[in-house]
Amino acid sequence: MARVLRPHGRRGEVATEILTDFPDHLAQLSAVYLWDGTVEPRRVNVRGCWTSQSRGGQAIFHFKGSDSISDAEKLVGLEVQIPIADRMPLPGGSYYVTDLIGCEVCDNAGRELGRVCEVQPTGEDTPGTPLLVIDTPEGELLVPLAQEICTRIDVNERRIDVNLPEGLRDLNR
């Protein structure tokens, strides 16, 4: 949902980078999990959360137990997460990045190409069309996450079927 950037104010609040497409949902959270990427996430209660328009828009969190600048400094770098069951529902044809990572990718003949290891946002050439980064035996393969190419996505089966345009594999060599 967010990543803690720095302390904000003097009472233990922190400024966070918003990582969700649903920033309004942040203000409704009563508890979240803070995670450093290594040990088990830690559940904390949220005293308050609001969006600040300074610095390009950040969420300001005040967590229970964080009452000073030094408390807030200890939170820098942590990810703010929620349980999967609490995520906002998505419209059909939309997917959470976490649901795509690890999916097996198969071509239109049913041959496994590899697994999704990352989903990258794209630049100005293809706005709004992220790229699936697929780890294949031949190396990394970048595939646009477009309906014409990704013909079937089944996150429950952890599988994505693709119809690769001619020459796409050669672009990555």
106-134 per-position pLDDT tens digit: 998 889 999 999 988 765 554 668 899 99
pLDDT value at 53 more than 90: no
CATH of domain 97-171: 2.30.30.240
Region 141-153: mean pLDDT is: 93
In angstroms, how far is CA 136 from the centroid of its own chain?
A: 22
Domain boundaries, the chain: 2-86, 97-171
Looking at residue 91, its pLDDT comes to: 86
CA proximity to 105, closest of 150, 153, 161: 161
Q: What are phi and psi of 110, to 5 degrees?
A: 85, 5
Distances (CA, A) of 88 to 120, 130, 162: 21, 20, 27
Looking at residue 10, its pLDDT comes to: 94
pLDDT value at 103 more than 80: yes
Distances (CA, A) of 19 to 3, 22, 49, 110, 151: 7, 9, 15, 34, 27
Q: How far apart are CA 31 and CA 77, in angstroms?
A: 18
In angstroms, how far is CA 160 from the centroid of its own chain?
A: 18
Looking at residue 172, its pLDDT comes to: 66
Q: With pLDDT > 70 as the criterion, what percentage of the chain qualifies?
A: 94
Region 149-165: mean pLDDT is: 94
pLDDT-derived band of residue 97, with 50, 70 and 90 as boundaries? confident
Q: Same CATH topology for 2-86 and 97-171? A: no
Beta-carbon neighbour count of residue 74 at 10 Å?
14
Q: Which CATH superfamily is domain 2-86 in?
A: RimM (2.40.30.60)
Looking at residue 122, its pLDDT comes to: 67
Helix (H) or strand (E) holding 99: helix 97-100
Looking at residue 57, its pLDDT comes to: 80
Cα 135-139-141 angle, rounded to 5 deg: 60
pLDDT in tens, 10-49: 999 999 998 888 888 999 999 999 999 898 999 999 999 9
Q: How far apart are CA 94 and CA 134, in angstroms?
A: 19
Is the model more confident about 14 or about 83? 14
The residue written with tokens 């089966």 in the block is 157
